[in-house]
Amino acid sequence: MALPVESTLSPTAGDAVAAAEMPRSVRRGGSIATISGIGFLVIAVAIPLLFKNFLVFQFTQMLVYAIAILGLNLLTGFNGQFSLGHSAFYALGAYTAAILMDQYSVSYIWTLPAAGIVCFVAGFLFGLPALRLEGVYLALATFALAVATPQILKLSPLEHWTGGVQGIVIIKPDAPPGVPLNQDQWLYYFTLAVGLVLYVAARNLVKSRSGRALMAIRDNPIAARSMGVNLALYKSLAFGTSALYTGIAGALGAIVVQFVAPDSFTIVLSIAFLVGLVVGGVGWLPGAIFGGAFVLFVPNIAEGVSKGLSGAVYGVILILLIYLMPTGAAGLVRAVLSRVSR
């Protein structure tokens, strides 16, 4: 598991000194990371065995959101490009999977790479003109994309494929023959497996030279450029990769929920991804799971507290969370670890 102490976040003076003192605390921190990683895996695998179908379904959704947030983190957390438009890529992935399964009888497994490729291309193409936009301007452009998506999905000329306002219904896949799991349990493990593969890939990307180039672009684009990093290429590739992740999440989401419709993919979803990103910790990959959990479960909790004021309760919880953990779960984990390894 990636360790916050290793500073995938922007360096500060404190971090620089902490890095210099790294050897012993990293070893201890490294073993804490391994232990928590194993612990997480054990719990994750046990979940379908411990909980009823509806909860397993919810946990699967949580994993789906976590994958989407992972994608957003790659773009915003590690490359510094702000996006409010990821609901569009999520929708694109979802509809790709739905159309392939519904109209072309493609097996659900193959819809994932298909969705990934389609979204990668879409993300890359969107990233190209977006190169000229920074900060708030990019936010507005991605916002426009997110707002346009449900409307485009409802357009009559496309109805033949998108199913218009009604959307498309998908048949839930069964576990492969010989595997003694029901549909919800199988989908959970399938999603978990896909998620783990994507997480490991993301971690390797972040630690590679390309990952460092991405972060260099985030921290100091002018310096990065003068060191020979091709800004245009990397930024567009970052967009594409991020869209790929979120697109695969969308495909998984469609399969799990068995249904796609335009109004499931509004700007509210994009905002939820952003909230999940911050709650988990910008620039910290494992945070995605905390973000996914928050985004899925907290709105329900808020509604449980007060039906009429559920939005207000959600808002208050969110503000309190930011007060306690301004840098999300990543900050909290970091604080705990630095106290432990002292």
Partner 1 sequence: MELFWQQVLAGIATGAIYACMALAVVMIYQAIDHLNFAQGEMAMFSTFIAFQLMLWGIPYWGAFLITLVVSFIGGVLIDRVIFRPIHDAPILSHVVVFIALLAILNSSAGFIWDFTVKSFPSPFGSAPLFGSSLISAHQAGMIGVTLLLLVFLFVFFRYTRVGLSMRAAAANPASARLVGVRVGWMVALGWGMAAAIGAIAGILIAPVVFLEPNMMISILLYGFAGAVLGGLTSPAGAVLGGFMVGVVENLAGTFIPVIGGELKLPIALMLIVAVLVFKPSGLMGRTVVQRV
Partner 2 sequence: MTTLLDVRGLVAGYGGIPALHGVDFSLEEGGVTTLLGANGAGKTTTLRALCGMIRARGEANFAGKRLIGMQTEDIVRLGIAHVPEGRGTFTRMSVEENLQLGAMSRRNGADIKQDIERVYEHFPRLRQRRMQQAGTLSGGEQQMLAIGRALMLRPRLMLLDEPSFGLAPLVVREMFDILAGLNRNEKVSMLLVEQNASLALSLADTAYLLETGRIVTSGPSAQIREDEGVRRSYLGY
Question: Are the CB atoms for 130 and 239 separated by under 8 Å?
Answer: yes
What is the total count of residues that contact partner 1 (CB under 8 A)? 43
Applying CB under 8 A, among 121, 139, 175, 181 the residue interacting with partner 1 is 139
**Contact set for partner 2, span 14-73 (CB under 8 A):** 14, 17
Q: Does 319 bind partner 2 (CB under 8 A)?
A: no
Query: DSSP string covering 1-68, please?
Result: ---GGG--SPP-HHHHHHHHTHHHHHHHHHHHHHHHHHHHHHHHHHHHHHS-HHHHHHHHHHHHHHHH
Applying CB under 8 A, among 12, 31, 34, 306 the residue interacting with partner 2 is 12
Residue 223 vs residues 8, 144, 213, 300: alpha-carbon distances, Å: 18, 31, 11, 45
Binding part of the chain for partner 1, among 22-30, 36-44, 173-181, 310-318 by CB under 8 A, reads 310-318
Applying CB under 8 A, among 19, 155, 158, 233 the residue interacting with partner 1 is 155
What is the total count of residues that contact partner 2 (CB under 8 A)? 4
Residue 35: contacted member of partner 2, partner 1, none (CB under 5 to 8 Å, by partner type): none
Q: Does 311 bind partner 2 (CB under 8 A)?
A: no
Question: Are the CB atoms for 19 and 7 separated by under 8 Å?
Answer: yes
DSSP percent split of the chain into helix, strand, coil, nearest 5: 80, 0, 20
Give the length of the chain: 342
Q: Does 127 bind partner 1 (CB under 8 A)?
A: no
Binding part of the chain for partner 1, among 48-56, 137-145, 237-245, 251-259 by CB under 8 A, reads 137-145
Applying CB under 8 A, among 89, 314, 332, 334 the residue interacting with partner 1 is 314
Q: Does 135 bind partner 2 (CB under 8 A)?
A: no
Q: Does 300 bind partner 1 (CB under 8 A)?
A: no
Residue 268 vs residues 86, 121, 226, 264, 273: alpha-carbon distances, Å: 11, 24, 39, 9, 9
Applying CB under 8 A, among 151, 166, 204, 300 the residue interacting with partner 1 is 151
Shortest CB 268 distance to partner 1, Å: 10
Applying CB under 8 A, among 45, 109, 152, 301 the residue interacting with partner 1 is 152
- DSSP letter at 262 equals G
| Phi, psi values for residue 169, rounded to 5° | -100, 140
Binding part of the chain for partner 2, among 9-17, 53-61, 83-91, 327-335 by CB under 8 A, reads 9-17
Torsion on CA atoms 285, 234, 271, 323, rounded to nearest 10: 50
Angle subtended at Cα 192 by Cα 187 and Cα 194, rounded to the nearest 5 degrees: 95
Residue 274: contacted member of partner 2, partner 1, none (CB under 5 to 8 Å, by partner type): partner 1
Shortest CB 212 distance to partner 1, Å: 21
Question: Are the CB atoms for 266 and 87 separated by under 8 Å?
Answer: yes
Shortest CB 147 distance to partner 1, Å: 5
| Strand positions, DSSP E, the chain | 168-169, 259-260
Instruction: Report the DSSP pairing between strands 259-260 and 168-169.
Output: antiparallel
Angle subtended at Cα 55 by Cα 52 and Cα 61, rounded to the nearest 5 degrees: 140
Residue 304: contacted member of partner 2, partner 1, none (CB under 5 to 8 Å, by partner type): none
Interface ranges with partner 2 (CB under 8 A)? 12-14, 17
Interface ranges with partner 1 (CB under 8 A)? 76, 82, 129, 132-134, 136-137, 139-141, 143-144, 147-148, 151-152, 154-155, 222, 271, 274-275, 277-279, 282, 308-316, 318-319, 322-323, 326-328
